[in-house]
Amino acid sequence: MLVIPAIDLKDGQAVRLFKGDYNQKTVYSDKPEKLAQDFETMGAKLLHVVDLDGAKDGKCINLETIKKIKQNTSMQIELGGGIRNLETVALYLDEVGIDRVILGTAAINDPEFLKNALCTYGAERIVVGVDVKDGYVSTSGWLETSAVPYLEFIKDLEKLGVKYIVATDISKDGTLQGPNFEMYEQITKTSKINFVVSGGIKDAQNIKDAANKDYYACIVGKAYYEGRVDLKEVIACLQNG
């Protein structure tokens, strides 16, 4: 299982939100690129980066910081937040050199855009973020909730040829209460899509539990920043692929 460290960007800083609340943020670093270097030293192969400002406003707000991160690490990078048209996809994949982008709001609001992105760049480089609130898909930086049940959405994504999703239970994100394993079991029963466990990881045991279930990958954010997970040790023990 891939163990993926996370850097969430707001105003050029590495932060974490509590349950997606932009008013409840904790700043962890003014130099996100240094964090990326640290993660690479620990053995991480893939870095998860989210432009929180971009997710809310639909623009490339933290572009310069993202470029710095890319320039300071040889890890693969997946990036989400505010990517809502092919021009932005091209900017990140072709110009900045990001390895894969995560489409969230646009994937549900504009299925044709998702199809075009998949057709242009392939399923290895286009990931979909499935952000879940009370059983439904959330959009616009988690500020709005759609009327689409998350399992129905995932089945539709699989039909379109999507290979990877990042599945987040918003109520768990940033809480250190443990992930919603029940939700992930429902996804496993419903679909064969590769999903990344995201939101709520509190300790190494949570990560081991995800690995034991043979899930594709697990994102570690706040648990690392708060000193609850020895990321180097976990990666050495669990990471493959």
CATH assignment at residue 181: 3.20.20.70
pLDDT given at position 240: 62
Share of the chain above pLDDT 70, in %: 98
Check residues 141 and 229 and name the one with the higher pLDDT.
229
What is the rounded average pLDDT of the residues 86-102? 98
pLDDT given at position 21: 83
Helices marked H in 32-72 — which ranges? Answer: 32-41, 52-57, 63-71
| Residue 124 predicted with pLDDT over 80 | yes
Q: How far apart are CA 218 and CA 166, in angstroms?
A: 9
User: What region does 97 belong to: left with phi over 0, alpha with psi -120 to 50, or beta?
Assistant: left
pLDDT given at position 17: 87
* 38-52, 99-113, 153-167, 186-200: least confident range: 99-113
- Those residues whose C-beta lies under 8 Å from the C-beta of residue 216, and which sit 6 or more positions away, are 1, 2, 164, 194, 195, 196
Average per-residue pLDDT for the chain: 94
Q: How far apart are CA 85 and CA 224, in angstroms?
A: 33
Domain extent at residue 10: 2-238
pLDDT given at position 232: 96
What is the rounded average pLDDT of the residues 146-160? 95
Which sequence positions are flagged as catalytic?
8, 131
Q: Measure the N-to-C terminal CA separation of the chain; round to a whole number of Å.
A: 7
Q: How far apart are CA 222 and CA 104, in angstroms?
A: 21
Count CA atoms within 13 Å of residue 102 on its CB side. 26
Share of the chain above pLDDT 90, in %: 84
Q: With bands split at pLDDT 50, 70 and 90, how would you rate the model's confidence at 141?
A: low
Question: pLDDT by residue (tens digit) across 56-87?
Answer: 888 899 999 999 999 999 999 999 998 999 99
Helices marked H in the chain — which ranges? Answer: 32-41, 52-57, 63-71, 86-90, 105-109, 111-121, 150-160, 181-190, 204-212, 222-225, 231-238
| Residue 190 predicted with pLDDT over 90 | yes
pTM, to two decimals:
0.94
Q: How far apart are CA 33 and CA 29, in angstroms?
A: 9
Token pair listed for 101? 């982008």
| Residue 143 predicted with pLDDT over 60 | yes
pLDDT given at position 151: 97
Q: How far apart are CA 12 and CA 18, in angstroms?
A: 18
Q: What's the domain count of the chain?
A: 1
pLDDT given at position 29: 96
What is the rounded average pLDDT of the residues 10-35? 92
What is the rounded average pLDDT of the residues 213-228? 96
Q: How far apart are CA 11 and CA 128, in angstroms?
A: 24
What is the rounded average pLDDT of the residues 89-98? 98
pLDDT given at position 85: 94
